[in-house]
Structure 1
Amino acid sequence: MELIIQGNVAKNCHPEGLRQGIDKQINYVESHGEIYGPRKVLVIGASSGYGLASRIAVAFGGGADTIGVSFEKSPGEKGIGSAGWYNNIFFRRRAHEKGLIAKNFIADAFSDTTRNDVIAYIKQEFGGSIDLLVYSVASGVRICPDGTRYTSTLGVRGQAFSGPGFDLETRKMVNQTLEPVTEQQLADTVKVMGGEDWQRWIDMLSAAGVLAEGFKTVAYSYTGPKSTWPLYKEGALGAAKAHLHATADQLDAQLQRINGHAYAVVCKALVTKASAFIPMFPLYITLLYKVMKQKRLHETCIEQMHRLMLNHLYPPMGNVVTDEERRIRLDDFELRPDVQQAVELLRKRVTTENFKTVGDFAGYLAEFYALNGFSMPDVDYSSELDLRQLVKEYSHA
């Protein structure tokens, strides 16, 4: 069985490889320092990337019980199911082996019905309250409680922006263009990817009385170096992230009555299902990976999230570590001047012929494949998978 890629989208996954991926992340956390942090954690967007890594970090690094909300596909007549479906199952199994509660809600995170179901579960079966909420939703579409559908747009403000990017299906470097967004597209992107839904989760949980004293909440963001600003910070994505940061400040003030706090966490550039969609961005990641690995500064999702919990959000000294704008910075290594200078030197050398060796294209591909359970050691990818057996074993998340 091989990974099927269309454009930059993976169309299948391998359950055994995904199981190995979960085990690998758990092994890292268990061998890199205990987290003295939250005991009851809700993760919105828990099935992959930063959300999954956050859940693993607090559970296996700190012994936390967790609830995960994600929208995934089960195996069935229409196919093998989504990678996140299996990630949820393998996480739950390992957590149960450790004696931890691990509840999975396969549901629309934007829905009030989902929020009410989660609140009922917290009250009835989860001890009555949570002390950390991680918001890590990556979606291109949001249907609000009033039924209005919003779609995000990966675009720029002002003039169109062109540059080199990847076609992972053909493994070639191609020229890509981001078109200017309209004001309506900009507003819709903020609706989908900004902080409004995060705010609604906190409002409903607060009204239900299930936020513990000292409650904390985080949502993940990205800023990047100036070279990425036209396609990220200064584009539609940047507008959404600016709204997310403003929401963090608003929530922080709102949570003061329970001695609670809210933070935007600015992460480093990484290979995730979301970042693979952004034109031109994967090329920057390959150059960054090359430099950071050479300087022994590279971190994956699990290393970033373990560092977040251990050193920033729940540090031994007790004070949350932020910058002057109250943001938690996990992009500090990425933005070091020596790192960015080295990346810029590589960028000037890149051509359509040498991009695989100038940057860490092999490392990028390996991480992209691993997101879907491929390129993992000790997995026999030549063996056929029995879909009926998968349905029998993995039909319940």
Structure 2
Amino acid sequence: MTTREIAPKGRGYLILNSHPTGCATTVERMWESIPARKPDGTAPTVLLLGASAGYGLAILLAGLRRHGIRGIGVAYEAPETERRTASAGWYRTAAAAGLAAANGNDFEFVNADAFSADAKAEVLDRIATKLGPVDYLIYSLAAPRRTDPETGAVYHSVIKPLGQPYQAPSLEFEDTTARVGTVSLAQADEEEHLATVKVMGGEDWEMWVEALAGRGLLADDFTTVALTYVGSELTAPVYRQGTIGAAKEHLERTAAALNDTVLADGAGRAYTVVAGAAVTQASTAIPSIALYTSLLRNVLGPEGWRTTADQAVDLWEQLSGARPLELDDKGRIRLDGWELDEGAQERVRKLWEDPAGVLTGDPSGPMWFYGQFRELYGWDVPGIGYAGPVETAVPWPDSQP
């Protein structure tokens, strides 16, 4: 037992200490928000890369609760140290594993750097030994750096515009008070551009598919999807037209390349999935996204907002064949129609003209964002008592008896 008193510490949109009970509760509440479905006797085998946060976690929980999936989830999370708690994703994974076990799902979790050759070998060995061919490979990784397993070169991703500098309003918090500031970014140079594509593009996704194929682990009707984002014209200069957007375009080209090569002649199918706006640890790192997401929430309200769990349910309905695939003219699965509805976007554009005035008149969106951001780390979760010590030494699922 390792109980200790902890408090959130960090700065900006980074919190260093996570609350284990708060993190577990957010997972349990997401689970309960997903409509359960009676099993139909099938249990698709899934390899989910990036299973501890954001859309990856939502896709995991929706797959477990509604489709009885079995398989392996991979995440790269930090254990507890003397100075810090374990990462939020560590605690979320432990909670997800408990729910999977209680639900009767045969699902394992591996804590490893999915970019590495060692992780690929370990995961594929487990699949070959315990599971057999994979029906779905879900690729939902977001990382600040990647080591090329073939050359050993280390690449770091950056969030910068391409072609010209970027300046726009941004959402900042001082304690619990929201204010509008300004973010200014220099344009990326070519090295930064290419490095970001190396980290966040489709190269690693392609390696995973090729590795599965090389081991004979692609099931009949194999499907793989990778998560991407398009977003609004308001954030396009720093996102879709910036370094991250370049990486996402490479990811989308990789889907076409996979379909033409390793998955050709009926061996499988690859798609990118355009998800909608969300408050995730990855999205909070993108300048202006917090403000845009807050204004979008102001416009849509809770009734119009689609959570990551809502979108994950939608994705599984399409992947499983319960509903037809909603493909755009580039062959991408779309989950973001609710966000990019022209009426909603027009209202957001009007708010964007005077975001400081919005905060004065209706701060509900920004304060909702603040609460969602804190909950990512298990803090300010309704119903949780934060006074007194808490057990922080939560074991990784594989080490549980």
- For normalisation by structure 2, the TM-score amounts to 0.92
Partners of 1:37 and 1:299 in 2: CA distance: 28
Instruction: Say which SS state the counterpart of residue 377 (structure 2) adopts.
Output: coil
The aligned runs of 1:102-181 (5 Å cut-off) are: 102-126=107-131, 128-145=132-149, 146-168=151-173, 170=175, 171-181=178-188
The aligned runs of 1:357-372 (5 Å cut-off) are: 357-358=362-363, 360-372=365-377
Following superposition, the deviation at residue 124 of structure 1 comes to 0.7
Match of 1:11? 16
Partners of 2:192 and 2:326 in 1: CA distance: 35
Instruction: Say which SS state the counterpart of residue 72 (structure 2) adopts.
Output: strand
Which has the larger displacement, 319-328 or 47-56?
A: 319-328
Structure 2 residue aligned with 1:335, among 318, 331, 340?
340
Partners of 1:4 and 1:174 in 2: CA distance: 22
Following superposition, the deviation at residue 6 of structure 1 comes to 1.0
Instruction: Say which SS state the counterpart of residue 339 (structure 2) adopts.
Output: coil
How big is each residue's C-alpha offset from its partner over 1:306-328, in whole Å with a ceiling of 9 and x where there is no partner? 11111x222325x4331121101
Mapped contact 1:22–1:87 kept (Cα < 8 A)? yes
Work out the percentage of aligned pairs sharing the same amino acid. 32
Structure 2 residue aligned with 1:186, among 172, 193, 198?
193
Partners of 2:128 and 2:182 in 1: CA distance: 52
Change (3 A) 1:96 1:142: same
Instruction: Say which SS state the counterpart of residue 340 (structure 2) adopts.
Output: coil
Partners of 1:372 and 1:314 in 2: CA distance: 32
Structure 1, unaligned runs of 5 or more: none
Mapped contact 1:67–1:105 kept (Cα < 8 A)? yes
Change (3 A) 1:112 1:394: closer
Structure 2 residue aligned with 1:283, among 286, 291, 295?
291
The aligned runs of 1:51-66 (5 Å cut-off) are: 51-66=56-71
Match of 1:219? 226
Structure 1 residue 383 corresponds to structure 2 residue 370: no
Q: Which amino acid aligns with 2:344?
A: V
Q: Which amino acid aligns with 2:19?
A: H
Partners of 1:138 and 1:222 in 2: CA distance: 12
Following superposition, the deviation at residue 358 of structure 1 comes to 4.8
User: What is the root-mean-square deviation in Å for CA atoms of aligned residues?
Assistant: 2.2
Following superposition, the deviation at residue 169 of structure 1 comes to 5.1
Following superposition, the deviation at residue 357 of structure 1 comes to 2.6
Mapped contact 2:139–2:205 kept (Cα < 8 A)? yes
Mapped contact 2:90–2:396 kept (Cα < 8 A)? no
Instruction: Say which SS state the counterpart of residue 113 (structure 1) adopts.
Output: helix
How big is each residue's C-alpha offset from its partner over 1:315-365, in whole Å with a ceiling of 9 and x where there is no partner? 325x43311211011111111110001111211231278368356011101
Instruction: Say which SS state the counterpart of residue 362 (structure 2) adopts.
Output: helix
Following superposition, the deviation at residue 258 of structure 1 comes to 4.0
Following superposition, the deviation at residue 175 of structure 1 comes to 1.1
Match of 1:94? 99
The aligned runs of 1:42-57 (5 Å cut-off) are: 42-57=47-62
Following superposition, the deviation at residue 167 of structure 1 comes to 3.0
Q: Which amino acid aligns with 1:315?
A: G
Structure 1 residue 84 corresponds to structure 2 residue 92: no
Structure 2, unaligned runs of 5 or more: 1-5
Structure 1 residue aligned with 2:319, among 307, 310, 313?
313
Instruction: Say which SS state the counterpart of residue 291 (structure 1) adopts.
Output: helix
